Amino acid sequence: MGQVTVRIGGYAHPVSCQDGQEDHLLRMAAEVDRRITTLRAMGMQFGETRMLLLAALQLADETTDLTAEVSALRAGGSVAAASAPAAADPALAQRLDRVAAKIETIAANLEGS
Best mean pLDDT range from 23-32, 72-81, 98-107: 23-32
Asked whether the predicted pLDDT for residue 89 surpasses 70, the reply is: no
**pLDDT-derived band of residue 75, with 50, 70 and 90 as boundaries?**
confident
Instruction: Name which of 75-79, 85-89, 95-99 the model is least confident about.
Output: 85-89
- Evaluate whether residue 3 is within a structural domain: yes
Domain that holds residue 12: 1-45
Helix axes 48-74, 22-41, angle to 10 degrees: 110
Q: Is residue 28 part of a domain?
A: yes
Q: Which of 62, 58, 13, 15 is nearest to 38 (CA)?
A: 58
Is 77 within the bounds of a domain? no
pTM value is 0.63
CATH of the domain at 38: 3.30.160.880
* Total of domains in the chain: 1
